[in-house]
Structure 1
Amino acid sequence: MLRIATWNIKSFNTREEELTKELTEGRLMRSSRNEKKGKGQTLLDNYIMIYSGVPKETRAKEEVAILVQKILTTQIEECKYVSEKNVAIRIRLGEELVNIIGIYAPENNREENIRERFFEDLQITINDMPSNGCMIILGGDL
């Protein structure tokens, strides 16, 4: 069984314990959206968080993450840190290849060129994923 959820939170730093509790009680496999600076991976209880955010010297405001159960980390074949609003992983679950894209869309009041660039980046990410697996897009504010 594959359990997926999204959780749009304003500040990850103050809600780590609450997020861990939600993930544990729901036995969820993945989640999306956080406020973490930079790009990379970090452990969060029984999960690994793969995140893509603004540079460390920039005020955190637009970031995205995918959380995967720690026991499945050896199944992750690729991570792509596209932008502070787009991160993607390819994971093998048994015989199935699963492509997961975590996105956080710009708000409607943002400049048109920012919104257009977001959707261009998303389309490039989709096109770059192998076509021989299923694709899941976890989105916030679409």
Structure 2
Amino acid sequence: MQGIRTKQQEVFSEINKMKIDICVLTETKKKGKGTETVGEYIHIFSGVNKETRAKRGVSVAIHKRLKNNIKSWDEIDEQIITVEIHKNHRQMIIIGVYAPSDDADPLTKDMFFNKQTHIISDIKHDKELFLLGDFNSRTGTETNSPVVGQYGERSTTNDNGLRLRGMCESLNLKIMNGFFPHRDIHKFT
């Protein structure tokens, strides 16, 4: 998404039409950190400082009916945000991410994936983790992998994809869009 400012009502209207309860939005280019109500949603956002030119940005849209289930959130930076939700005796952590592009310099990518790994490592194991967003990754497919499944995107794995796979392997996570058949448009991370 190329910035949310001019399309905010349209985006949230579409999310509502699709009956989506929780949605991570990336490349919002929204400045600052905070919450706002947009239509039927609570919008928790994290972007660059207000004095900085608009870029990047990540947010989580949560339907109002889940308002009382939101326990906490942390706007870490313009690329990572976390939200804790308790519902039906389940404790869930949503981590919304907007990864650097695959052509970003290796140090930038190292810093991003290291920060993400530390955040995930600090989450208690009794909580369900959902890592959502734009990873700018091509993770490929494998038949016998504990991380990616046979139904993922059938393209060459890129550097971000290798980094994501490595992180998931070290943390015992799965990239779920490859474990079930999907239309091609739903196979990309």
TM-score by length of 1: 0.89
1:16 aligns with 2:19: no
CA distance in 2, matches of 1:17, 1:41: 15
C-alpha contact (below 8 Å) 1:82/1:121 kept by paired residues: no
Q: Please point out which of 111, 118, 123 is paired with 1:124.
A: 118
Q: What is the identity, as a one-letter code, of the residue corresponding to 2:33?
A: K
Which one has the bigger strand percentage? 1
Aligned residues: 134
* Shift of residue 74, structure 1, vs aligned partner: 1.6
Spell out structure 1 runs of 4+ moving beyond 3 A.
none
Larger Rg: 2
C-alpha contact (below 8 Å) 2:95/2:132 kept by paired residues: yes
TM-score by length of 2: 0.68
1:91 aligns with 2:85: yes
| Residue aligned with 2:125, SS | coil
The worse-fitting range, judged by mean Cα deviation, of 69-78 and 54-63 is 69-78
Percent of residue pairs identical = 28
- The Cα offsets for residues 47-74 of structure 1, whole Å up to 9 and x where unpaired, read as 1111111001111111000110112122
1:26 aligns with 2:12: no
Q: What is the identity, as a one-letter code, of the residue corresponding to 1:107?
A: S
**Number of the residue aligned with 1:51:** 45
- List runs of 5+ in structure 1 lacking aligned partners: 1-8
**Number of the residue aligned with 2:150:** none
| Residue aligned with 1:31, SS | strand
- List runs of 5+ in structure 2 lacking aligned partners: 138-189
C-alpha contact (below 8 Å) 2:29/2:55 kept by paired residues: yes
| Residue aligned with 2:61, SS | strand
